[in-house]
Chain A
């Protein structure tokens, strides 16, 4: 089944403890992206990747890192999480955006205490 998967789905952590949220797609998509969703702010793009080893900043990249070593995986890294990074995170992928839709993952709810 064609899909985008994220792990973990729920995570509670403490300030400063490094964490990684994984994202994987099995559709051979070139474009992958991370968003955070916050009440009243909608979805905001954190980082995106056009292909392997090619990444760029979205609207809210501060405090996050990403890597794209393989086409199928696009992990989101929080080196030193802070409470303001408590949010619902979505990964998405697309063959390209002009003619193909973004497929979204199920979301990861992160709480930083």
Chain B
């Protein structure tokens, strides 16, 4: 069974400090991984996906198959980064079941 673990429900950091939101997964095969973000009073939206190897709003995430991790990182947190962050996993192919983690609330302290 596929599973996504986000071990921290809440992460508080000071503005300007580095951020790392942890995500570990369990999947027998080569999954596709995503980070979604939900800002206050807004819809859930895609932040980035591992297949694109992109950096969005200063965030990056590297898929580490050996450690089965897909941690989200940003070198300098900004107040507008405060939000709920969800890691998600899907089987390969584009039309599969999606499993989300329970989410981590990031609070950036001014």
> Residues of A contacting B28 with CB < 8 Å?
none
Chain B, interface size category, equals 20 to 34
> Residues of A contacting B100 with CB < 8 Å?
35, 42-45
Q: How far is the CB of B102 from chain A (nearest CB, A)?
A: 4
A106 pairs with B97, CB closer than 8 A: no
Choose one: A40, A56, A99; the contact of B51 (CB below 8 Å).
A99
Q: How far is the CB of B54 from chain A (nearest CB, A)?
A: 12
A42 pairs with B51, CB closer than 8 A: no
Binding site for A on B (CB under 8 A): 6, 9, 32, 36, 43-46, 49, 51-52, 86, 88, 90, 92-103
22 A/B residue pairs, CB under 8 Å, sorted by A: A35-B100, A42-B100, A43-B44, A48-B97, A56-B97, A57-B97, A58-B97, A58-B98, A96-B94, A96-B95, A97-B32, A97-B90, A97-B94, A97-B95, A97-B98, A98-B32, A98-B93, A99-B52, A101-B45, A102-B36, A102-B46, A104-B43
Binding site for B on A (CB under 8 A): 30-31, 33, 35, 40-45, 48, 50, 56-59, 90, 92, 96-99, 101-102, 104-107
